[in-house]
Amino acid sequence: MLLWMLACTSEPPAVVVPDEEADADADPDVPEPEPEPDPEPQFCRNVPNDAEGACWHSFGGLYADGACSESYQCCDGAFGALGSCGECACTEPTGHEGCVPAEAGTEVCFAPYTHTVEPLPTALRDAMAGTTYEEGCPVGLDALALITTAHWGFDGEPKTGQLVVKADLASVYVDVLQHAWQVQFPIERIEPASAYGGSDDASMAVNNTSAFNCRPVTGGTSWSQHSYGHAIDVNPRQNPYVSASGNTVLPPEGAPYVTRDPSVPGLIVDPGPVVGAFRRHGWGWGGSWNSLKDYQHFSENGL
């Protein structure tokens, strides 16, 4: 049995009936309209085991009890350690239709991941000027791109975020964000740092995930790796920066997460889905550094 979670709620494609009169009048110089692109392929999995009592989220994601998703989200929307979610009630606290029970061998398809990549729009360039970008920054605005991406929120709802990145690395970011979507790794919000006046502290204070920000390195004067668009901070509250002495935790709201508990939603662990996705592209994680720890930080060059 194949469950097309979202497909069954969307309208069937309109049937186009050729109009011969219109064709006769058509200007031969006007090119044919481009055919509609195929929809994004859905991400499908087989339910592995009846005994696991797996249920599936109405958005198409996995909400299972014995077989939690990689981000450990359970049927009731809570998060827990892998395999610890207990009985699956197949209802959701958010008022949605709820999970549907799935038998072993059932193929269930996730909501398709959606994203776009585009050059920086004029309004965003204007917002970046004097906040996250100035003359003399190591990467110019034309070398950056804006990713608009789907992501799961901490409330279990699908959301849309925007990330400014180095254009030639956009495919890496998109691949990681797609993987985070597929395993329902929750990300609180994704907004350009210019929305916070370029203040990393203000961005971290609301648990914002961001990439490009032309600014000095934390606690120093040289350019941060974020100034190059090849670094990203993910869920900074659950994944704080912790100085070597342990005396500085940024953001301060991240203090409860200095002691790493893998069952905390949105917390980055190794092994885990976010570290694994970046590692496949050769990127480094600040949580693996020896002295200071920057659990939110991933970069192309490992710095």
Task: Note the residues at the interface with Zn ion (CB under 5 A).
Answer: 233, 297
Q: How far apart are CA 301 and CA 285, in angstroms?
A: 10
Pick between residue 151 and residue 297 the one whose CB is nearest to Zn ion.
Answer: 297
Pick between residue 60 and residue 192 the one whose CB is nearest to Zn ion.
Answer: 192
Pick between residue 131 and residue 296 the one whose CB is nearest to Zn ion.
Answer: 296
Minimum distance, C-beta of residue 283 to Zn ion, in the bound complex (Å): 12
Q: How far apart are CA 79 and CA 63, in angstroms?
A: 10
Pick between residue 98 and residue 229 the one whose CB is nearest to Zn ion.
Answer: 229
Q: Which residue is nearest to Zn ion (CB)?
A: 297
Minimum distance, C-beta of residue 72 to Zn ion, in the bound complex (Å): 24
Pick between residue 80 and residue 302 the one whose CB is nearest to Zn ion.
Answer: 302
DSSP-assigned states of every residue in 49-69 = -GGGT-EE-TTS-EE-STT--
Minimum distance, C-beta of residue 276 to Zn ion, in the bound complex (Å): 19
CB 269 within 8 A of CB 262: yes
The string over 108-135, giving b where at least 16 C-beta atoms fall within 10 Å of a residue's C-beta and e elsewhere, is bbbbbbebebeebeeebbebbeebbbee
Minimum distance, C-beta of residue 130 to Zn ion, in the bound complex (Å): 21
Pick between residue 115 and residue 297 the one whose CB is nearest to Zn ion.
Answer: 297
- The phi, psi pair for 203, rounded to 5°, reads -65, -45
Distance of CA 235 to the CA centre of its chain: 10
The string over 199-233, giving b where at least 16 C-beta atoms fall within 10 Å of a residue's C-beta and e elsewhere, is ebeebbbebbbbbbbbbeebeeeebbbbbbbbbbb
Rg (CA), the chain: 22
Pick between residue 43 and residue 241 the one whose CB is nearest to Zn ion.
Answer: 241
Across the beta sheet with 100-101, the strand order is 62-63, 55-56, 100-101
Minimum distance, C-beta of residue 56 to Zn ion, in the bound complex (Å): 35
Minimum distance, C-beta of residue 242 to Zn ion, in the bound complex (Å): 13
Minimum distance, C-beta of residue 245 to Zn ion, in the bound complex (Å): 19
CB 262 within 8 A of CB 81: yes
